[in-house]
């Protein structure tokens, strides 16, 4: 077309809205977004529970046929339109409710995700000591049932007939009485000071509230100039966790029992491949860990230059995310194997997931290491950075959607104020989660606010782009943007395979549904009603907006 390279670069830039400083910033931000807490505290346990090494086969099959195609679809969608999760639906205005659904999901996740980060901040600060506070059972918050993995005068006096390693810490066989570990009592009785039920809020835990404020201030400051500032921060937040993982891995594999822990993690149980639940867990983990249907992928890609090769990026980021999950498994299970051998119990006795792994099991294992506060500082700093990488994108998703929707020059120039407003609102909405009933609400939101609703949103998005906007139109758009059409494999996945897999995930989620519990606590029915309302609140945006759009239009038919 006669354009010189400099003119082409200028044409690629969105001077009004802004772009990433360079492509590395986008890739690192997307890696930080996709690689989150779930890679460390959920995948290793899922792999262990679902057949060890055998789980890798369905996991990577789902990555190829569902994960990478959906990732590429969302990146290309955002990059082509250069708009956030609301603005992109100019391609099919009636389906703009999908964008609102993504905003609702990102809001829910952003509220409780930062509470998890703030708890990691709290543990990080309390690790700045010569002796970790969850090492022994001689603290005011401990109960007579407490029994640590490190012996204390009190413990030895109370349990004189127990061997030096105090196996009772994680078993139920000593004196026929269930014993609890000091890390569990520190978590429940001191950090959370947990109430007896979800309806009993008790008082706000001021230390947790303070850490929540710190979390939101950090997120706001890193996003104060949008992608221009966050793009610089991710050079550290997206890379340093890998350094910490490697340090913990090297330390872990040098410990006695590490090999047995890794064997539990990887030993294949091939018969489980025939179990539908294993395939369902693999598909769900791929889907959720990549952050599909949150709106974040569309938002991050919208700041790319128009001709960026997002096909290459989608493969790099997706594979990096899954490789990180596998790598984290070695880090987690090497330490848990060491802990199991020290206690003289099976690895299955100490394996856990979610908050139980991050704030109870792993911290307990760290008390057995020399210079334990150092390893604790590294571990919780890693969790903080992993969480912040995801939180940056969640907040940016909401801010970008608002700014794009209003679209005035004033709102674009003063985007910082929108960021501040969203951060303050997020902090205020997170305050109830810092009460004594906070953990009940956090787990309720984690299990319901972004579960089957994400699957429905993703499926409708896929169908809308391929069959409403039209697959031929979209393939031409991608070709104009990248300079080559989407590979045939991706065209087939987008139109047929990925929607079928998404439908399978939805059916699997419904069939496998069990009401949430927390340890022995059973959630009351009224709380489950609230949970389902949260789950439906994002999905209901789609038909409600469609009906509104049809009612407000001048045409006589739905197509018009």
What pLDDT, on the 0 to 100 scale, is given for residue 526?
98
Has residue 341 been placed in a domain? yes
Q: How far apart are CA 390 and CA 111, in angstroms?
A: 12
Q: Is the dihedral of CA 512, 518, 522, 526 positive or negative?
A: negative
Q: How far apart are CA 121 and CA 479, in angstroms?
A: 45
What pLDDT, on the 0 to 100 scale, is given for residue 111?
98
What pLDDT, on the 0 to 100 scale, is given for residue 464?
96
Instruction: Convert the pLDDT of each residue in 22-35 to its tens digit.
Output: 999 999 999 999 99
**pLDDT beyond 70 at 168:** no
Total Cβ atoms within 10 A of residue 60: 16
CB–CB of 358/120 below 8 Å? yes
Has residue 560 been placed in a domain? no
Q: How far apart are CA 49 and CA 214, in angstroms?
A: 36
- Give the model's confidence band at 353: pLDDT under 50 very low, under 70 low, under 90 confident, else very high: confident
Calculate what percentage of the chain has a pLDDT beyond 70. 92
Higher pLDDT, 133 or 163: 133
Has residue 174 been placed in a domain? no
Tally of structural domains, the chain: 1
What pLDDT, on the 0 to 100 scale, is given for residue 352?
85
SS3 164: coil
**pLDDT beyond 90 at 39:** yes
Instruction: Convert the pLDDT of each residue in 70-107 to its tens digit.
Output: 999 999 999 999 999 999 999 999 999 999 999 999 99
Has residue 302 been placed in a domain? yes
Q: How far apart are CA 219 and CA 237, in angstroms?
A: 12
CB–CB of 245/382 below 8 Å? yes
Instruction: Convert the pLDDT of each residue in 499-516 to its tens digit.
Output: 999 999 899 888 888 899
- H or E element at residue 387: helix 372-406
Q: How far apart are CA 396 and CA 423, in angstroms?
A: 10
What pLDDT, on the 0 to 100 scale, is given for residue 351?
84
CB–CB of 346/263 below 8 Å? no
Has residue 325 been placed in a domain? yes
Instruction: Compute φ and ψ for 35, nearest 5 degrees.
Output: -85, 105
What pLDDT, on the 0 to 100 scale, is given for residue 147?
87
CB–CB of 426/114 below 8 Å? yes
Higher pLDDT, 266 or 492: 492
**What rounded mean pLDDT belongs to the chain?**
91
Has residue 38 been placed in a domain? yes
- H or E element at residue 252: helix 240-253
- DSSP one-letter string for 340-362: HHHHTS-HHHH---THHIIIIIH
Per 3-state DSSP, what percentage of the chain is helix, strand, and coil (rounded to 5)?
Answer: 70, 0, 25
Instruction: Convert the pLDDT of each residue in 140-162 to its tens digit.
Output: 999 999 987 775 544 333 333 33
Has residue 159 been placed in a domain? no
What's the Cα-to-Cα distance from 86 to each of 47, 273, 296, 359, 439, rounded to whole Å? 36, 40, 11, 37, 32
What pLDDT, on the 0 to 100 scale, is given for residue 497?
97
Domain that holds residue 44: 5-139+189-552
Has residue 150 been placed in a domain? no
Q: How far apart are CA 207 and CA 438, in angstroms?
A: 13
Q: How far apart are CA 560 and CA 554, in angstroms?
A: 8
What pLDDT, on the 0 to 100 scale, is given for residue 151?
59
Q: Encoding tokens for residue 499?
A: 């929607």
Instruction: Convert the pLDDT of each residue in 385-437 to its tens digit.
Output: 999 999 999 999 999 999 999 989 999 999 999 999 999 999 999 999 999 99
Q: What is the pTM of this model?
A: 0.92
CB–CB of 461/293 below 8 Å? yes
- DSSP one-letter string for 181-245: -HHHHIIIIIIS---SSTT----B-HHHHHHHHHHHHHHHHHTTTTHHHHHHHHHHHTTHHHHHH
The residues with which 517 forms a beta bridge, in sequence order, are 522
**pLDDT beyond 80 at 176:** no
Q: Encoding tokens for residue 16?
A: 């009004």
Residue 144's nearest CA partner among 95, 179, 195 is 179
Instruction: Compute φ and ψ for 518, nearest 5 degrees.
Output: -130, 105
Instruction: Convert the pLDDT of each residue in 269-288 to its tens digit.
Output: 999 998 888 998 999 899 89
Residues in binding site for Na(+): 32, 34-35, 39, 289, 321, 386
**pLDDT beyond 80 at 163:** no
Eight-class DSSP state of 177:
-
Higher pLDDT, 136 or 175: 136
Q: How far apart are CA 512 and CA 313, in angstroms?
A: 34
Q: Encoding tokens for residue 341?
A: 């051998």
**pLDDT beyond 90 at 170:** no
The residues with which 204 forms a beta bridge, in sequence order, are 435
Total Cβ atoms within 10 A of residue 210: 15
- Give the model's confidence band at 519: pLDDT under 50 very low, under 70 low, under 90 confident, else very high: confident
For the purposes of burial, counting CB atoms within 10 Å of the CB of 484, is it exposed (0-12), middle (13-18) or buried (19 or more)? exposed
CATH code of the domain containing 451:
1.20.1740
**pLDDT beyond 70 at 298:** yes
Q: Average pLDDT for residues 12-23, to the nearest whole number?
A: 84
Q: Average pLDDT for residues 191-214, to the nearest whole number?
A: 97
Pick from 151-160, 232-241, 309-318: least confident: 151-160
Residues in the chain: 560
Pick from 114-123, 529-538, 544-553: least confident: 544-553
Residues in binding site: 32, 34-35, 39, 289, 321, 386
Q: Average pLDDT for residues 321-328, to the nearest whole number?
A: 96
């Amino acid at each position: 077309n006669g354009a010189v390279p400099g003119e082409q670069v200028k044409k690629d830039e969105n001077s009004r809205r802004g772009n990433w400083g360079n492509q590395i910033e986008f890739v690192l931000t997307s890696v930080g977004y996709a690689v989150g807490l779930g890679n460390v505290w959920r995948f290793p346990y899922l792999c262990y529970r679902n057949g060890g090494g055998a789980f890798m086969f369905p996991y990577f099959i789902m990555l190829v046929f569902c994960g990478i195609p959906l990732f590429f679809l969302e990146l290309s969608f955002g990059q082509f339109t250069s708009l956030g999760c609301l603005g992109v639906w100019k391609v099919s205005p009636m389906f703009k409710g999908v964008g609102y659904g993504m905003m609702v999901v990102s809001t829910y996740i952003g509220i409780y995700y930062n509470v998890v980060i703030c708890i990691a901040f709290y543990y990080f600060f309390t690790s700045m000591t010569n002796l970790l506070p969850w090492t022994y059972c001689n603290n005011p918050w401990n109960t007579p049932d407490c029994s640590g993995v490190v012996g204390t005068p009190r413990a030895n006096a109370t349990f004189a007939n127990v061997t030096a390693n105090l196996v009772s810490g994680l078993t139920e066989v000593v004196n026929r009485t269930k014993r609890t570990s000091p890390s569990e009592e520190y978590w429940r009785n001191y950090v959370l000071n947990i109430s007896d039920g979800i309806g009993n809020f008790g008082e706000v835990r001021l230390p947790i509230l303070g850490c929540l404020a710190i979390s939101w201030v950090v997120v706001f400051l890193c996003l104060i100039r949008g992608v221009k500032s966050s793009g610089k921060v991710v050079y550290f937040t997206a890379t340093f966790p890998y350094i910490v993982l490697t340090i913990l891995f090297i330390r872990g594999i040098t410990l006695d029992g590490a090999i047995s822990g890794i064997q539990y993690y990887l030993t294949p149980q091939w018969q489980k491949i025939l179990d539908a639940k294993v395939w369902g867990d693999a598909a769900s983990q791929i889907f959720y860990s990549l952050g599909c249907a949150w709106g974040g992928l569309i938002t991050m890609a919208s700041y790319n230059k128009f001709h960026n090769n997002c096909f290459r990026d989608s493969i790099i980021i997706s594979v990096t995310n899954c490789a990180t999950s596998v790598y984290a498994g070695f880090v987690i299970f090497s330490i848990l194997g060491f802990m199991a051998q020290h206690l003289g119990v099976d690895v299955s006795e100490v394996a856990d997931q979610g908050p139980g792994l991050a704030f109870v099991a792993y911290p307990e294992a760290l008390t057995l290491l020399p210079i334990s506060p150092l390893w604790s500082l590294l571990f919780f700093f890693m969790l903080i950075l992993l969480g912040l990488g995801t939180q940056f994108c969640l907040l940016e998703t909401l801010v970008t959607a608002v700014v794009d929707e209003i679209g005035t020059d004033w709102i674009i120039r003063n985007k910082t104020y929108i960021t501040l407003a969203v951060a303050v609102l997020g902090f205020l909405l997170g305050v109830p989660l810092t009460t004594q009933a906070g953990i009940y609400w956090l787990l309720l939101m984690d299990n319901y606010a972004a579960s089957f609703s994400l699957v429905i949103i993703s499926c409708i998005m896929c169908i809308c782009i391929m069959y409403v906007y039209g697959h031929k139109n979209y393939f031409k758009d991608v070709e104009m943007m990248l300079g080559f059409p989407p590979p045939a494999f991706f065209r087939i996945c987008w139109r047929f395979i990925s929607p079928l897999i998404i439908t399978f995930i939805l059916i699997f989620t419904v069939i496998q549904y069990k009401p949430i519990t927390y340890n022995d606590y059973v959630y009351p029915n009224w709380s489950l009603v609230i949970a389902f309302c949260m789950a439906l609140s994002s999905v209901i945006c789609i038909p409600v907006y469609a009906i509104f759009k049809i009612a407000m239009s001048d045409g006589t038919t739905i197509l018009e």
